Amino acid sequence: MISAFLIGIVAAIHLYIVYLEMFQWDKPAGRKVFGTTQEFASASKVLAANQGLYNGFLAAGLIFGLILGAQGGVFTVFFLCCVIVAGIFGAATVNRKILFVQAVPAAVALVAVLAGY
């Protein structure tokens, strides 16, 4: 199904975000992605790891829904909606790029789920 593939992409995006926020935040790769200075990254490392953990829960919920198959539809819809809300909030408060990295892929996946693809 197309929707399962799209949900998998959204989950993979969030697993990558987990990796960046929890393990690369104060490293050159993480600082480049998030546009932070070494000083800021060092001072906010624990906050970023906490944020990464929450992104991990979003990915876990999506993966759980996929594992459940047809029975997991309610999980995937719920967690896709959570990703969309988080993406919109992030775009409004941090960086507009978050809308395109998180919210748009989740919205596309949600439309596919609701359309039965």
Please, what is the end-to-end C-alpha distance for the chain in angstroms?
Answer: 6
31: number of Cβ within 10 Å: 17
Burial of 37 (0-12, 13-18, 19+ CB in 10 A): exposed
**Residue at token pair 């719920």:** 78
The pLDDT of residue 69 is 93
- pTM of the predicted structure, to 2 decimals: 0.92
Q: Is 60 helix (H, G, I), strand (E, B) or coil?
A: helix
- Residue 14 corresponds to which tokens in the numbers above? 């969030």
| pLDDT value for 109 | 98
Q: pLDDT under 70 in the chain at which residues?
A: none
Q: pLDDT value at position 1?
A: 85
